């Protein structure tokens, strides 16, 4: 970023370092991990928090890799992937902006999945030691951490109950409703068919066919930017 300021990116292959984080003026401060903390506490300890950019399809870390940092998604979309020995690829869950990734290293030594960017993604890299230090003096962080863990758990349960259950039509409909961006659920994130299939436990062809059908019915329009949906219609399909 600045001349003479060396990027400390030895720890991460694909991401590019774009500076130190200014957590106090983060544009999504209200939803971030440290949102409960006071201004001055932030200023003191968040110096070693890096700001990263991860290009679509590049990976942040791999399953089984040793790690000493958690990440928060500032912008974009990240997928957690599990590759089975037989080659099966299953997306475990998607992380939207505000989500925390890799919390397992707070408890374990290694990451449990492969984290890959679906779209171009901005992240904060928070070293584990920053969290453990802050944790010692600030009880509010415990609550924040617990909340994040519960969020991940809720996401996982959603994948089980909504995205791995029922007909292909129901799953795709639920998927589209879940990856909605705005509160009215009219525009959604864009994912490749292959990713959708890996998330829903279906094949690319089946997903493609269901998408085609939804489009024929006018429930879905795939423009240049992002897919737009009719949430009411899809809600009906989702419940059967």
| Interface positions with a second copy (CB under 8 A) | 82, 84-86, 88, 90, 92-93, 103-104, 106-108, 112-113, 135-136, 139, 142-143, 145-147, 149-150, 152-154, 156-157, 159-161, 164-166, 201, 239-240
Q: How far is CA 39 from the centre of its chain?
A: 26
* 192 touching DNA, by CB under 7 A: yes
* 212 touching DNA, by CB under 7 A: yes
Question: What whole-number distance in Å separates Cα of residue 219 and Cα of residue 225?
Answer: 17
What is each CA distance from 56 to 16, 29, 183, in whole angstroms? 12, 24, 25
CA triple 83-124-74, angle to 5 deg: 85
Neighbours of 190 (CB within 10 A): 15
Nearer to a second copy, 22 or 154 (CB): 154
* H or E element, residue 174: helix 168-178
* 89 touching DNA, by CB under 7 A: no
In the list 209, 228, 231, 235, the residue contacting DNA (rule: CB under 7 A) is 209
* 149 touching DNA, by CB under 7 A: no
The residues pairing with 143 across neighbouring beta strands, listed in sequence order, are none
* 194 touching DNA, by CB under 7 A: yes
Q: Can you give the C-alpha Rg of the chain in angstroms?
A: 19
* 57 touching DNA, by CB under 7 A: yes
In the list 62, 110, 112, 169, the residue contacting DNA (rule: CB under 7 A) is 169
Nearer to a second copy, 87 or 223 (CB): 87
CB of 111 to DNA, least distance (A): 24
Neighbours of 46 (CB within 10 A): 20
Residues that bind DNA (CB under 7 A): 57, 167-169, 192-194, 201-206, 208-209, 211-212, 222
């Amino acid at each position: 970023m600045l001349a003479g300021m060396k990027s400390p990116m030895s720890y991460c292959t694909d991401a590019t370092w774009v500076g130190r984080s200014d957590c106090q003026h983060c544009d999504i401060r209200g939803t971030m991990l440290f949102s409960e903390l006071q201004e001055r506490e932030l200023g003191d300890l968040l110096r070693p928090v890096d700001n990263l950019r991860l290009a679509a399809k590049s990976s942040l870390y791999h399953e089984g890799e040793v790690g000493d940092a958690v990440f928060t998604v500032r912008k974009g979309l990240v997928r957690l992937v599990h590759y089975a020995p037989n080659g099966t690829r299953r997306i475990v869950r998607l992380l939207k902006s505000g989500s925390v990734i890799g919390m397992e290293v707070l408890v374990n030594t290694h990451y449990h999945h492969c984290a890959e960017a679906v779209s171009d993604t901005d992240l904060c890299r928070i070293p584990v030691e920053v969290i453990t230090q802050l944790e010692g003096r600030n009880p509010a962080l415990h609550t924040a951490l617990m909340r994040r863990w519960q969020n991940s758990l809720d996401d996982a349960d959603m994948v089980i109950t909504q995205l791995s259950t029922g007909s292909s039509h129901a799953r795709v409909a639920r998927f589209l409703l879940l990856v909605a961006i705005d509160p009215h659920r009219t525009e959604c994130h864009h994912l490749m068919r292959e990713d959708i299939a890996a998330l829903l436990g279906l094949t690319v062809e089946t997903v493609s066919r269901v998408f085609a059908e939804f489009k024929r019915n006018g429930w879905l329009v795939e423009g240049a930017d992002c897919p737009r949906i009719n949430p009411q219609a899809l809600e009906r399909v989702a419940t059967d």
